[in-house]
């Protein structure tokens, strides 16, 4: 039996500028996307129908029904490609839910890539991704990019950050995207610069940090803690939170921060990895 697998790596917003509210309910954004080496994992085997089984540390937090983004992506691809084939999908859910690192979007993007291979079809994957959510196109691309519009107009960028040691820490509090965007104060604080991604990111900001911290004060405490770690080159909240990240000058400093996080944030979820 053919078994195919596809990674669904964590998405990182190195910077996120919110420029304006849009009439369609979304926001005009400028962001720098990057991706971790690790995340969720999706596998598939041929089957008559479409089904999803969820395993892993965060499986209990997800419904495997038709509203799951993985099955929505699968159904959309099957319809777009005009195929009747199915698949039995298994999602190993290792990224926390509603955490600002694109878990659901990454899973949907992985489903599109995986099933296009399994079914041997060609379709407008980017168009399908755009219909599923603002972060799905970036996760489908899966490489460093500048995002504008809703974040789904993408310009791939050259990056020297591949391999940079990365620590992700989530205080264990789900933060739905909608309330954070709704709490944004509506002030346009300026455009995102261009140039070297790390330099641009360090001079930039995440405009959703302040509203997220008002909703979940632990995010502010976590950011302050990360920024004091030896060897850190950039620490920021990703997306709408609550996951925060830190980039480090070397792997030893990242490992030390990971050990410290286990001590100082015992209830937190942590992932020591690197940028892809």
- Residues marked active site are found at 11, 135
On the 0-12 / 13-18 / 19+ scale of CB atoms within 10 A, 203 is: exposed
């Amino acid at each position: 039996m053919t078994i195919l697998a596809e990674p669904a790596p964590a998405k990182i917003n190195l910077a996120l500028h919110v420029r304006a509210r849009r009439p369609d309910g979304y926001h005009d954004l400028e962001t720098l996307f990057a991706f971790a080496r690790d995340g969720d994992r999706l596998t598939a085997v041929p089957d008559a129908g479409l089904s999803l089984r969820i395993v892993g540390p965060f499986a209990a937090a997800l419904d495997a029904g038709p509203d799951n983004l993985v099955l929505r992506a699968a159904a959309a691809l099957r319809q777009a490609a005009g195929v009747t084939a199915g698949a039995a999908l298994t999602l190993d859910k290792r990224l926390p839910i509603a955490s600002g690192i694109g878990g659901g979007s990454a899973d949907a993007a992985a489903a599109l890539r995986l099933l296009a291979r399994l079914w041997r079809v060609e379709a407008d994957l980017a168009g399908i991704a755009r219909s599923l959510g603002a972060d799905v196109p970036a996760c489908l691309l899966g490489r460093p990019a500048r995002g504008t519009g809703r974040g789904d107009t993408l310009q791939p960028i050259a990056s020297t950050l591949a391999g940079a040691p990365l620590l992700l820490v989530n205080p264990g509090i789900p933060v739905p995207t909608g309330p954070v965007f709704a709490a944004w104060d509506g002030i346009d604080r300026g455009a995102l610069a261009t140039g070297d991604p790390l330099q641009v990111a360090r001079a930039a900001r995440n405009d959703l940090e302040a509203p997220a911290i008002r909703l979940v004060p632990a995010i502010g405490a976590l950011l302050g803690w990360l920024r004091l770690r030896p060897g850190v080159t950039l620490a920021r909240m990703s997306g709408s939170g609550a996951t925060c990240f830190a980039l480090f000058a070397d792997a030893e400093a990242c490992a030390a921060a990971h050990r410290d996080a286990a001590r100082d944030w015992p209830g937190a979820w942590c992932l020591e990895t690197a940028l892809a």
